Structure formats: structure tokens, C-alpha cells
Structure 1
Amino acid sequence: MNALAAFFRFDRYETTFRRETVAGITTFLTMAYIIIVNPAILEAAGIPRGPSTTSTIIAAVFGTVVMAFYANRPFAIAPYMSENAFIAFTVVKVLGYSWQTALGAVFVAGVLFTVLTVFKVRSWLADSIPMSLKCAFAVGIGLFLTFIGLNETGIVTLGVAGAPVKMGNITQPSVLLAFFGYLLTVVLMIRKVPGPIVIGIIATTVLSIACGVTPMPHSFVSMPPDPTPIVGQLAIGNALDIRFFPVVLTIFIMAFLDTVGTLIGLSMRADLLNDEGNLPEIEKPMLADALATTVAPLIGTTTTGAYIESAAGIEEGGRTGFTALVVALLFLLALFFAPLFTIVPPHAYGIALIVIGSFMIEPIKRIDFEDFTEVVPAFLTIVLMIFTYNIGVGMSTGLLTYPLLKTIAGRGRQVLPGMWVLALLALSLFIFFPKM
């Protein structure tokens, strides 16, 4: 145990095995839905659900283990939600390409990620982002998680004509259970009880089962479906066709922006940024992300990356790769205990996302509200992340408007070269995929 503590540098991050373990459990519980949701989405593209479930778990285990041992960061990796929908509904359903070609594009993007990371191009670009936008990424992600949590719990639902969203039916048992779980979690935090988020999730789940709102699974143990039918089926040659270039570029930019924003936002909340506002050795978690994205299509699933739900574990004190290792081990167990791990209902894990948002708005006070060239890009980043329900859209808008406003104000010299590159990437995303 001492060797593990030394390897993960517990002393440096002032953490313990108990704290890291609780953090890992919390992160897993908030993102375990991906085991069901990712295969369900990819089934629309023609990828069989059973094999896709196994591939989803394997991709999460691989990426998160690399994050744990190589990067030593508390970030979990799994297939991205927005990118899987883009592949299934836009690339396959709308554009008419096969899922094999789509996975080929993901592989090409993964290779590009890896090369750019090894040569530290990605870290150079990340370090060029100004502090105001980094703060906006953290705040936007926090409020984005809150909005997801409100929707998952049923507290907020889709509206009718004239109102995009509205208050949910608060008399529904699931909504009442969500209120209970949220209040319980907050009270535990106020009383400084260790592991309040995971206690809130488990208590809400148990009560939901007891009240008959959540059914018990037919079994707790199951053999993982055979992934062979989708392993190695990607069509790289088709993806390299010049006509497919806009799709490859879109996948690349969407994943790049999501990863940068997530890593910076989570690191700010975990107090892992240095005095210059940069994440030391950011190329390590980026390489973990890149390698996972390269491996994912080989085993039959889509773009992977650092999950914003890692914020749940960070709030529980997770600061090292041991948190990620716990997440990876739980995903591995999920291969055989998927019915048990996926029993956690949305109104139970949704409360964790709402709680997290209240903590992640703190960096907003670091934005200079007297300087409109700083506050406007930050504001647009935050609100468009939430109201377009798309992190990439918010980030792209901020990356575009920041250098533009600085130049208009006659302060273009304040914009680092890397920011201009990011602005061009963001612009190309709007050009090639205007309806993202």
C-alpha cells in the first residue's frame, strides 16, 4: 500500500486511499449510465447493442487505466455522448455513410490527436487560452452538468409551445426522491460527513427500490456479450477519401475542444492549475485521451475522452490517478455485474450533477467584469454551453470572439499565437458543421 501511495504521490496531493476510493466510486456512479446509453445510441447507426456494450466498457477501462498510471489524474475516460450522437444520427443517418466508415474517421482523428500530443502541439494550444476563458469553461461545464441533472431528475422538463423548458411534475415519486436525495447530500456536506455525494446516490437508489419506483434487475451477474462482430470492422480507407474530410475534421475539432475544456475546467476545480493558470504536464492526460480515441474504433465504439462527471469524484476529494484506477476497476466489474451497476436511476445520479454545479461556479469571480473584451467571450461561452446543450458550441464561440474583440479594441498583441489557431479551428467547425 505504501508503494501505491508513493506511486500516486498521495503526500504531494494531501490525499488518502479512503478519499480516493470514495471519489472513484462517486465518479463511476455518476457516469455508469454510459454502459446503457452509448450502445443504445450507436444501435441507431447499425452497431449491435450487445457487442457495443462490451466495447463501451473496454474502451472506458483502457482509457481510464492509462489516465491513472501514466497521467496520474483523477479523470475518467469513456465514449463521449455528443460525438456518439454525431456519428449515429448525422454521419450515418443523414449523410448515409456506414458505421464502419464513421469508425474509420474516429481512428484517423485519434491518430492525429496522438501525433499532435506527442509533439506537444495540443498542450501549446491549451496553454494559449486566456484565464477568463478557462474560468468560463469551468463555470459553463458546472452549469451544463446542473442542467443535465435537473433534466435527468425530472425537476425540469422540455416545455410546450412558447417555453423551451418548464418545471417538471414535482408530485411524481421520482422527482420527490430527487429532492430528498439532493437535500440529504447538502445536509451531509454541511455536517462535513465524508462521502456525501455517494451516500446521497446510494440512499436515493435504495429508497427508490423500496418505494417501487425503480425495479430490481432480473439478475445481478451476467456474462459480457461477445464484441467480436464489431472488433476491427472500421473502414480506414473510406475515411481517408477527400469527400469525407469535413466529417474527419468535425470529429477532430469537437473532440479536441471537448477535451481541452473538460481538462481545464476539472483541473481548475481540483486546484491542479499552476500560477499561470495552466495544467502541468497536460500532454499526459491528453495522450491518455488520444490513445483511448485511437483504440476505441478498433474495438467498435466512438470517440472517447475525459468525462465531465469526473467533477463528482473531485468534489469528494479525488486528486490523483488512484481515483481513476478505482473507476476503471468498477467498469471492469461492470462487464460481469452490469445489471447491478446500471440499477442506479437518473433521479439518483442526477442529484450529484446538480450539487456539482453549485461548486463549479466559483471561478466566475476571477473574470474581469470591467473589461468587455474578457467578459463578453466568457459570457457567450457559458450561456451557449448551456442553452445550446453543447459544450463545443460554447467553447467555439468563446475562442472566436476573444481574439476578434481584442483586435477590434486595438489590443491584438494580447492574443497569443495559439489562440489564433484555436479560433481558426473553431471557425472551421461552424463552417463544416453549422448545425452541430
Structure 2
Amino acid sequence: MEKLNNFFKLNERKTSVRTEVIAGLTTFVTMAYILPVNMNILSAAGLDSGAVFMATAISAVIGTMLMGLFAGLPFAQAPGMGLNAFFAYTVVLTMGYDPSFALAAVLVEGLIFILLSVTNIRSQLMESIPKQLRLSISAGIGLFIMFIGFQNAKIIIGDPATLVAVNPNLTEAAIALSIIGIIITIVLWVKQVKGALLIGIFATWILGMIAQLAGWYQINVDSGLFSLFPSGVLSLPPSISPTIGLCFSGIKTAFSSPGNIIQFLMVVLTFLYVDIFDTLGTFAGVATKAKLIDENGNFPGSKRAFTSDAIATTCGAILGTSTVTTFVESASGVEEGGRTGLTAVTTAILFLLAIPFFPIIKAIPGFATAPALIMVGIMMCEPMKEFQWDKADVIIPGVFSIIFMVVGYSISAGIMWGIMSYLLVKTIQGRAKDPGIILWVLGVLFVIKLFIFPIIETYL
């Protein structure tokens, strides 16, 4: 036990083994959905589903273990949502390229990431973001997580007239169970019960199984309502051979013609852009929530964290999955008290153990994890108490950052619009030199991304 304390600096960060393990378990349960979800998305692009599941799990183990042992931080990694959709639905199904082409792009992106991380450029990028903007990023990520939670619970649904709306059928079993779960989780959290989020998840799931036995919860596969009981306990791991190393054959396709080279570079830059700023935003927000940010806006192990993320992306590409990134759901473990790499190590071990126990993992429904996501979202708004609401160069970029994250359904979009509006306000105030060269370079790159790239794509 003493060795664990010394290695992970538990006493220094005022935590314990028990707290860290509970935090790691909570993080795992709130992000375990990526195993079946990533499998379904990438298999739609033609990749073998069993191999994708294995690639997803193993890359999560590698990335999260690196984050825990090498960086010493409570962050978990896995193939990122949004990036997997771009991989499958844009690069493969819309642009018409083979999955190996997309995997090759992820591989090159990962290698560039490693270079940027080793040269400390990514750390400098994060440090260049003003503190007040980082506070809004933290809140924006929280509201984004909360929005995802309400969507998973089907309390918020799509609407043709208003785009989103509150579901009028709140008495449906899955939705009502999620609302009950939210109430249970709030009660536990207000009463300061340790492991409140995790208890809330399992309590909601158990109530769901009881509802299924009673006939209230009805299975309807077309509506996404599956049996809440596991189909089994153990299963043999599927083979990863159909996807491992597939990225290398994609390199040949990428450089087979000038047109392919241009498209390949654009795909790589898109992966690079989204991953960098999703990761920057997640690090800034979750590290702020964990109170790991110092007075200069830095957090310990940031360079190693970036490097861990880059290595995980590269390994994921070789294994056969889309870009691996740090998950915003890491905030759920932080909320449970996770402060060290032991949280991440616990999560990594659970991803490894999940491989043969997949029948059980996939039985946990979205409506059971939704209450935890919603509560995490609320808690991540706490740093806004330090927000300087009376300053134009704070409130305008801050609100832009938050609204674009939630409405644009993208952390990177929130950072992009937040930084661009920050530069605009500073210029109007006659203080254009204040942001520094890095933020101005980012602003130019964002303009290129928003306005120049679409023009190039139109004429290709």
C-alpha cells in the first residue's frame, strides 16, 4: 500500500486507494458504451465488427494505462466519438475510400501528434489559452456532457421544427427509469454518499431489469430497446487479425495519385485538428475540475499526457480503430475524487477485463448511465464562479465557446469560436498584441478551416 501511495502521490493529492479505485470504476462504466458503439459505427464502414471491438478495447487499455503510469493523471482514453463518425460516414461512405485509407490517415495523424507532443508544442497551445476561456471550456464541456446524458435518456429528442425538443412521452419505461435514476443520483450526491454516480448507474439498471420482469419495460429492437439482462457471462475474444496492420496497405492507396494525396492530407488535417482541440478542451476542463491547474494555468504531467494521447492514437490505427482521444467522461471519475494515475490504471484494467465479459457490459443501457453524465455536467459548471462576467473580452468568447460546444455538438467547435471571438474583441479594444502569436496563428488556421477548406473541397 505504501508503494502505491508513493508511486501515484496519493497523499500529495489528498486521495486514497479506495477513492481512486471507485473513481476509475465510475469512469469506466460511464464510457464503456464506446465498446459497442464504436464497433457498430466502424463496422458500417466495412470493418470486421469483432476485430473493431478488440481494437477499441485494446487501444483503450494502452492509452489509459499510459495516462495513468506515464503521465500520472486520472484521464481515460478510447476511440473518440465524432472522429469515428467522420471516419466511417465521411471518409469511407461519402468520399468512397477503403477503410484502410482512413486508418492510414489516423496513423499519420498519430505520428504527427507524437512529434508535436515531444517538441512541447501541444503544451504551449494549451498554456496559450487564457484562464477565463479555460473556465468557459470547462463549463461548456460540462453542459455538452449533460446534453449527451439527456439524449441517452431520450428526455431530449430530435425535432424537425426546432431541431431538439423535450420528449412529450416522459412516462415511457426507459425515460421514466432514467428520470428516477437522476433523482436517485441527486439524492446520493446531495447526501455526499461516496460512489454516488456509480451507485446511481447500477441502481437504475437494476430497476430496469425489475421493470422488464414486470412487463413495464418492453423490448423493441427497432426503437433501440434491448433486453436489460446479459445474454451470457463470458465469451471468447473475437479475432483482431482482420484489422491489425490494415493501415499500412492504405498508405499505398493514399499516395497512388495526386488527387488521392490531396484528399489524404485533408483527411489527416481534419483528424489532427479535431483531435488536438478536443483533447486540449478535455484536458483544460477536466484538469480544472480536478483542481490540478496551477496559478499559471498549467497542470502536472501535461507533456506526458499529450504524448500518451499521441501514442494511443498511433497504436489504435495499427490495431484497426479510429482516433483515440481523452474522454470527457473522465470527469465522472474526477467528480468521484479521482486525482491520480491510479484512477486511469483502474479504468484500463477494467477495459482489459471487459473483453471476455462483453455480454454483461453491453447490457448496461444508455438510460442507466445518463444520470451520471447529467450530474457530471452540472458539477463541471462549478468553475464558472470565478468567471468575470463584467468584461467583454471574457463574456463574449466565453459564451461563444459554451454555446458552440453544446449546439454545435463539438468541443473543438467551442474552442475554435471562443478563440476567434476573443481575438476579435481584443482587436476592437485596441489590444491585438495581448493574445500572443500562438493564438493569432490558431485564429488564422481556424479561418482557413472554416472558409478556405470548403472552397478547395468544392473544386476538387
TM-score for the superposition, normalised by structure 1: 0.97
How far does residue 44 in structure 1 lie from its aligned partner after superposition? 1.8
Q: Unaligned regions of 5+ residues in structure 2, if any?
A: 218-226, 256-260, 456-460
> Identity of paired residues, percent?
40
User: What corresponds to 2:265 in structure 1?
Assistant: 245
Tell whether the 8 Å contact from 1:23 to 1:318 is kept in structure 2 after alignment.
Answer: yes
Tell whether the 8 Å contact from 1:157 to 1:168 is kept in structure 2 after alignment.
Answer: no
Counterpart amino acid of 1:189?
W
Separation in structure 1 between the aligned mates of residue 187 and residue 360 of structure 2, nearest angstrom:
27
Within the candidate set 211, 235, 238, 1:225 is matched to: 238
User: What corresponds to 2:446 in structure 1?
Assistant: 426
CA offsets 1:133-185 (integer angstroms, 9 cap, x no match): 10111011000001110111121111242453233421111111111111111
Within the candidate set 258, 275, 280, 1:255 is matched to: 275
Counterpart amino acid of 2:306?
M
User: What corresponds to 2:46 in structure 1?
Assistant: 46
How far does residue 215 in structure 1 lie from its aligned partner after superposition? 2.9
Change (3 A) 1:192 1:42: same
- Residues 1:131 and 2:126 aligned together: no
Within the candidate set 313, 316, 330, 1:310 is matched to: 330
- Residues 1:22 and 2:22 aligned together: yes
Counterpart amino acid of 2:432?
G
Tell whether the 8 Å contact from 1:30 to 1:312 is kept in structure 2 after alignment.
Answer: yes
Separation in structure 2 between the aligned mates of residue 282 and residue 80 of structure 1, nearest angstrom:
20
Separation in structure 1 between the aligned mates of residue 300 and residue 321 of structure 2, nearest angstrom:
30
CA offsets 1:9-48 (integer angstroms, 9 cap, x no match): 0011111111001101111110010000001011121111
- Residues 1:175 and 2:175 aligned together: yes
Partner secondary structure for residue 414 of structure 1: coil
Separation in structure 2 between the aligned mates of residue 304 and residue 78 of structure 1, nearest angstrom:
5
Counterpart amino acid of 1:58?
I
Separation in structure 1 between the aligned mates of residue 145 and residue 187 of structure 2, nearest angstrom:
21
Q: How does 1:266-415 map to 2 (within 5 A)?
A: 266-415=286-435
Separation in structure 1 between the aligned mates of residue 374 and residue 413 of structure 2, nearest angstrom:
22
Separation in structure 1 between the aligned mates of residue 78 and residue 386 of structure 2, nearest angstrom:
31
Partner secondary structure for residue 293 of structure 2: coil
Partner secondary structure for residue 246 of structure 2: coil
Change (3 A) 1:368 1:26: same
User: What corresponds to 2:204 in structure 1?
Assistant: 204
Separation in structure 2 between the aligned mates of residue 207 and residue 417 of structure 1, nearest angstrom:
55
User: What corresponds to 1:236 in structure 2?
Assistant: 251
How far does residue 433 in structure 1 lie from its aligned partner after superposition? 5.8
How far does residue 385 in structure 1 lie from its aligned partner after superposition? 0.7
How far does residue 242 in structure 1 lie from its aligned partner after superposition? 3.3
How far does residue 432 in structure 1 lie from its aligned partner after superposition? 6.1
User: What corresponds to 2:31 in structure 1?
Assistant: 31
Q: How many residues in Structure 1 have an aligned counterpart in Structure 2?
A: 436
Tell whether the 8 Å contact from 2:19 to 2:337 is kept in structure 1 after alignment.
Answer: yes
Separation in structure 1 between the aligned mates of residue 162 and residue 312 of structure 2, nearest angstrom:
43
Counterpart amino acid of 1:140?
G
How far does residue 394 in structure 1 lie from its aligned partner after superposition? 1.4
Separation in structure 2 between the aligned mates of residue 432 and residue 168 of structure 1, nearest angstrom:
42
Tell whether the 8 Å contact from 1:246 to 1:432 is kept in structure 2 after alignment.
Answer: no
Separation in structure 2 between the aligned mates of residue 419 and residue 367 of structure 1, nearest angstrom:
20
Tell whether the 8 Å contact from 2:228 to 2:364 is kept in structure 1 after alignment.
Answer: no
Partner secondary structure for residue 321 of structure 2: coil
CA offsets 1:169-212 (integer angstroms, 9 cap, x no match): 21111111111111111111122211110000011111111211
Separation in structure 2 between the aligned mates of residue 19 and residue 91 of structure 1, nearest angstrom:
42
Partner secondary structure for residue 287 of structure 2: helix
Tell whether the 8 Å contact from 1:217 to 1:343 is kept in structure 2 after alignment.
Answer: yes
RMSD of the alignment, in Å?
1.6
Tell whether the 8 Å contact from 1:201 to 1:348 is kept in structure 2 after alignment.
Answer: yes
Separation in structure 1 between the aligned mates of residue 406 and residue 191 of structure 2, nearest angstrom:
31
Partner secondary structure for residue 294 of structure 1: helix
Counterpart amino acid of 1:345?
P
Tell whether the 8 Å contact from 1:253 to 1:425 is kept in structure 2 after alignment.
Answer: no
Tell whether the 8 Å contact from 1:380 to 1:398 is kept in structure 2 after alignment.
Answer: yes
Partner secondary structure for residue 157 of structure 2: strand
Larger mean Cα displacement after TM superposition, 166-175 or 309-318: 166-175
Tell whether the 8 Å contact from 1:108 to 1:236 is kept in structure 2 after alignment.
Answer: no
Tell whether the 8 Å contact from 2:70 to 2:308 is kept in structure 1 after alignment.
Answer: yes
